[in-house]
Structure 1
Amino acid sequence: MEYVFFKDEGLNQFHLDNKELFEERLLEEAVNVKDKIEEIKLIGNINLIANAHNVVLYVVNGNEKELIEFGKKEGIAWAKNNLTLSFKIEWIQAIRMTLWDFLNKYRQLNSEKDTEWFYKMGKQINRLLDVFFKGFFLSYSHYKDDLIESQRKLVEHLSVPVIPVSSSVSVIPLIGTIDEYRAMIMEEKVLQTIRDHSIQTIILDLSGIAEMDYNVIQKFMKLFEGIKILGCDPIITGLRPEVVSSIAKLDMSFSKKAKSKATLQQAIKDYL
């Protein structure tokens, strides 16, 4: 297929006149991406070919503002659909190489364009493609960071659920392993909840906790003190024998820090 060229046409029109050749050359460059084009379109409704033409036109026309916004939009789309970042990097590089080939061909066909113009246009291509990728990557990263943060907060919330059973009594059922990080989250959340909702009695059900090490036990002792300082009564329920044994071996005791009940049901019955 021969290149189409009309005298006095700009590089943008030259690109439009030869879209099929551009696409063919682009797919030759994007070795790993070309087989994923339909899959990416299906997953994220992203048309890589159409988007490549948009990027090229923004670049050759010097539309920097529009290019940045387009890059941000693309970044969010890729992050939202968990598309592989390496594919995007290869795709942008393929666009760069193909556009340079087109720039060189355009100069060969247009005798009015000298070396200085070619150099200036080449710098513009490289700079604006870098601008596009920067906008893409920053929005991609921000979206992922926000998602991770929201998931972290959700995990923290679920790991220390505070369940109100009346206007003044709340229950915290704890299940699984309590490490120092989770104990720290528990302390922050419990004390904040007591302050915010004027809770008078907080019941910590430990029936789902099979073991505690020294540092975690210390965290609980500190938590009970903080609860009392806020004018709230800490109640422990469901202490398992192995946990009681661990506490006794360390010559420590919860009894001076908090009241204890055998079961959660008993505590709720007594304090409601």
Structure 2
Amino acid sequence: MKEFLEKFSHKLIEQAPQLAYVITESQNKRYPSMQLLEKELYPFRISLVELYAESLVMEESERIDKLKKWGEQAGAEFAKYQTISLDMMLREVPNYRNIIGTVLKHEALAADLSAAEMYDVISLLDSTVNDVTYFFSVPFVRYEKEVLKLSQTLITELSVPLVSINEGTAILPLIGTVDHDRALILHERVLHNASKLQLEYLIIDLSGLQNTDTFVAQQLFNLFDALCLLGINPIVSGISPAIAQTMVNLGLSFGRIRSFSTLKQALDHIGR
């Protein structure tokens, strides 16, 4: 068996350029956008066929280490290409399995392998293909999660804009829902920017706020207290009947914080 695997490995390495070409043609037909990266993908496919070939004659521990190292590097590299998705790359897996399997069939018949020996070789090839898929996918998914997290952070930061309307006054319109992550960014950005702008008044408009519960109310009161410690007067506007009723049901009161039903009323109060 060892002699056959070594011979088969050499055969795959010799045919790597042709096999990679067949895979490239298949993928270009399925995903025309991949043609734009053919110069990068074709050498990658050659090296992957060679990797399969070399892995077949390695001990399991050595094979796993090599595939893991390859997957970390290749997955991280290709994840950065905006025109390539993980789905596209995973669609290549059956191509390698089928094409290498075809070569294996001819070589096994020529070597007159038994059914048991053929089963062992196919199992080894399947295991290698599965490991390649896994180790390639891990950094790819990790990169996409990092990009998604960054996008969510940017969106959340944009959802707490501080709008300056004159030298000493700004408006903070709260739109949508306030969760734990947004509350943290709300406190950090608002306090930093309000202090930087040297505000006297900050109008916090709640007319676009969708959720009002104990958590949201507590976050608002914490923000009010922090603003007061900075010498900034918080003013609340956009108090709808639903928000007012919720506050009453929760037994909460804005206390010394001035509140108004509309933004215009809050601005008129500051003007007076």
2:187 match: secondary structure? helix
Letter matched to residue 60 of structure 1: A
Question: 1:72 maps to which residue?
Answer: 75
Shift of 1:41: 2.8
Shift of 1:39: 3.3
Taking structure 1 as reference, are residues 241 and 93 closer, same or farther at Cα in structure 2, changes over 3 Å only? closer
Q: Deviations over 1:139-165 (max 9, x none)?
A: 211111111110111111111124578
TM-score (norm 1): 0.64
Taking structure 1 as reference, are residues 117 and 190 closer, same or farther at Cα in structure 2, changes over 3 Å only? same
120-129 vs 102-111, greater mean Cα deviation: 120-129
Query: Conserved in 1, the CA contact under 8 Å of 2:72 and 2:139?
Result: no
Letter matched to residue 203 of structure 2: L
Shift of 1:131: 3.4
1:249-268 to structure 2, matched below 5 A, reads 250=249, 252-257=252-257, 262-264=265-267, 267=270
Gaps of 5+ in 2: 1-6, 56-62
Identical pairs, percent = 11
Q: Deviations over 1:100-153 (max 9, x none)?
A: 221231243467x99999777656544443332223211211111111110111
1:85-100 to structure 2, matched below 5 A, reads 85=87, 87-100=88-101
When you count helix as a share of all residues, which structure comes out higher?
2
Gaps of 5+ in 1: 1-6
Question: 1:3 maps to which residue?
Answer: none
Shift of 1:50: 5.6
Of residues 36, 43, 58, the one that matches 2:51 is: 58
Query: Conserved in 1, the CA contact under 8 Å of 2:160 and 2:186?
Result: no
Question: 2:220 maps to which residue?
Answer: 220
State the superposition RMSD in angstroms.
4.8
1:93-112 to structure 2, matched below 5 A, reads 93-109=94-110
Taking structure 1 as reference, are residues 76 and 8 closer, same or farther at Cα in structure 2, changes over 3 Å only? closer
Taking structure 1 as reference, are residues 195 and 211 closer, same or farther at Cα in structure 2, changes over 3 Å only? closer
Query: Conserved in 2, the CA contact under 8 Å of 1:74 and 1:136?
Result: no
For residues 94 and 8 of structure 2, the distance between their equivalents in structure 1, rounded to whole angstroms, comes to: 29
Taking structure 1 as reference, are residues 195 and 124 closer, same or farther at Cα in structure 2, changes over 3 Å only? farther
Taking structure 1 as reference, are residues 266 and 49 closer, same or farther at Cα in structure 2, changes over 3 Å only? same
Of residues 66, 73, 83, the one that matches 2:85 is: 83
Shift of 1:264: 4.4
Question: 2:32 maps to which residue?
Answer: 38
Question: 1:11 maps to which residue?
Answer: 11
Taking structure 1 as reference, are residues 170 and 132 closer, same or farther at Cα in structure 2, changes over 3 Å only? farther
